Amino acid sequence: MTEPLSLGAQAAAPPAAFSRGKFLLPLALAQFICSFAGSNMNVMINDISNDLGTTVKGVQTAITLFLLIMAILMIPGSKLTDRWGRKRCFNLGLALYGVGAILSAAAPGLGVLILGNSVFEGVGTALLIPPVYILTTLAFEDTTSRAKAFGAINGAAGIGAATGPLLGGLIATLISWRAAFVFQALVIAVIVVLGRRIADPLPADPSRRFDLVGAVLSGAGLFFLVFGILQIGTHNVLAAVLGVVGAVFLFSFFVYIRREEREGKEPLLSTALFRNRTSNLALVTQNVQWLLLMGTAFVVSVFLQEVRGYNPIETGLVFTAATVGLLLSSLGAGRFARRRTQKSLIVAGFVLALVGVGLLIPLVVEWRSVVAFFPGLFLFGVGMGLMLTPSVNVVQSAFPEQQQGEISGLSRSVSNLGSSLGTAIAGTILISAVATGNTSYGWAMASVGIAGVIGLGAALLLPGGRPVNA
């Protein structure tokens, strides 16, 4: 594994006037609210669809497009951090996100909700998240402190995703689903204030080339692929056509970037990023982790509302078990990292998450009590909290400082692609006309479990390594 290059203590450390905690707080909050946005709508699907005169499928499309736009634009967004500067991209992303949250809160119909939530918030997230990880990598040089910093940020990501249903359900029930977007806008305002004194340790380089062709090819490929998945069950021929078109675009993208490299140009994404076996395997685990998290959250939320008739706050309360499990394992992340290897934590996380998914199928299908959800969701949350941070740390630490912009964008893109695939695949199976009720729930959760087995396989192939302080 390549050790990151040092930029020197003067450049890498946060400003002297800032403690490391104050430096990380706005970055962790930014990751929290973006993850919150990806999961809080799940518990408000009935309220939103009734208020806006749409369907569960329409709200699923809005959620999936939000996650997909993040995945599509995360790599271009990371490249822009070099050209425009990390702090500038962070602030621009916050501004776009805030506008999107306000538009969503005032949406008169599904179209405006998609514009605000999917487009503005999605683009804003793609601009602000890469700087979060790049600034953290640059600010914390040694592996131990960087692991702790990533632990805080990824813990915030997991907590945001896990508490999204609870907080979203509470706000939607006590006030309105629109107030959940007002809450997001308020958090963005707090982040802007807290982040005013964050300094960019590296100057912007306006001369850096931005690969527009590569951005279009990769973005179109991912869009058509995921949008095709959304059509399965209702427009199967169209789904197949869109899938083929997406594959053609992605193949063209890889052919294009290889040609650009041979000609000595800087492509959107360097093929060198895919020559590191350890990083490749860790990226697979990242993708599957978020597929598991978002797929499970969507399936359980829709099942509770559509089949069991739960309201938003009741649905959110069910997810308290996952939130508690994730919080417990996240709080112990630093101690676990000192005693166990990154690989062992990732493997253990997948095993616990899969056991949780395994319990969620038979208990929920055979037992109508709400208690049936608690054991599975708790173990699922513990597993997710164990493995989210180690996967990111393995990927980020595999490359030197000058490649942090690229690998950060790829890492976040892979994670968000997993989120969108989880919502698209499991959600499509759940609401498909082929099966209803407990049967569709069981098949949807089974699809999540199959993906988890793939992630576990990738984790087992990771090199053993040593604990972070070894």
* 288-324 residue pLDDT tens: 998 998 888 888 888 888 788 888 888 888 888 888 8
Count up the domains in the chain and report the number.
2
- The DSSP output letter for 106 is T
Could you tell me if residue 424 is inside a domain? yes
Tens of pLDDT, residue by residue over 177-197, are 999 999 999 999 999 999 888
Could you tell me if residue 6 is inside a domain? no
Could you tell me if residue 34 is inside a domain? yes
Among candidate residues 244, 267, 290, the one where a domain is terminated = 267
User: Residue 68 carries which side chain, given as an amino acid letter?
Assistant: L
Q: Are residues 128 and 236 in the same domain?
A: no
Q: Are residues 136 and 153 in the same domain?
A: yes
Exposed / middle / buried, residue 56 (Cβ in 10 Å: 0-12, 13-18, 19+): middle
Taking residue 306's Cβ as centre, other Cβ atoms within 10 Å add up to 18
Could you tell me if residue 8 is inside a domain? no
Q: Are residues 247 and 166 in the same domain?
A: no
Among candidate residues 251, 267, 283, the one where a domain is terminated = 267
N- to C-terminal Cα separation, the chain: 15
For the chain, what is the mean pLDDT?
83
User: Residue 285 carries which side chain, given as an amino acid letter?
Assistant: T
Q: Are residues 300 and 153 in the same domain?
A: yes
pLDDT above 90 (res 378):
yes
Q: Are residues 262 and 275 in the same domain?
A: no
Among candidate residues 230, 250, 267, the one where a domain is terminated = 267
* Rounded-to-integer distance, Cα 241 and Cα 225, Å: 9
Percent of the chain with pLDDT over 90: 28
* Rounded-to-integer distance, Cα 298 and Cα 34, Å: 16
Could you tell me if residue 369 is inside a domain? yes
Could you tell me if residue 112 is inside a domain? yes
pLDDT of res. 419: 79
pLDDT of res. 465: 59
- The DSSP output letter for 4 is P
Tokens of 84: 């425009």
* Rounded-to-integer distance, Cα 265 and Cα 211, Å: 9
Q: Are residues 159 and 259 in the same domain?
A: no
Mean pLDDT in residue range 347-361: 94
Q: Are residues 163 and 252 in the same domain?
A: no
Q: Are residues 261 and 381 in the same domain?
A: no
Q: Are residues 221 and 370 in the same domain?
A: no
Mean pLDDT in residue range 361-386: 88
Tens of pLDDT, residue by residue over 201-259, are 778 888 888 888 988 998 898 888 888 877 776 777 888 898 899 999 999 999 999 99
pLDDT above 90 (res 113):
yes
Token pair 């919080």 is at which residue? Answer: 327
In 160-281, DSSP assigns E strands to none
pTM above 0.85, yes or no: no
Q: Are residues 278 and 165 in the same domain?
A: yes
Q: Are residues 32 and 169 in the same domain?
A: yes
* Rounded-to-integer distance, Cα 353 and Cα 348, Å: 9
Q: Are residues 254 and 147 in the same domain?
A: no
Could you tell me if residue 447 is inside a domain? yes
Domain that holds residue 241: 212-267
Could you tell me if residue 467 is inside a domain? no
Q: What is the CATH number of the domain that holds 329?
A: 1.20.1250.20
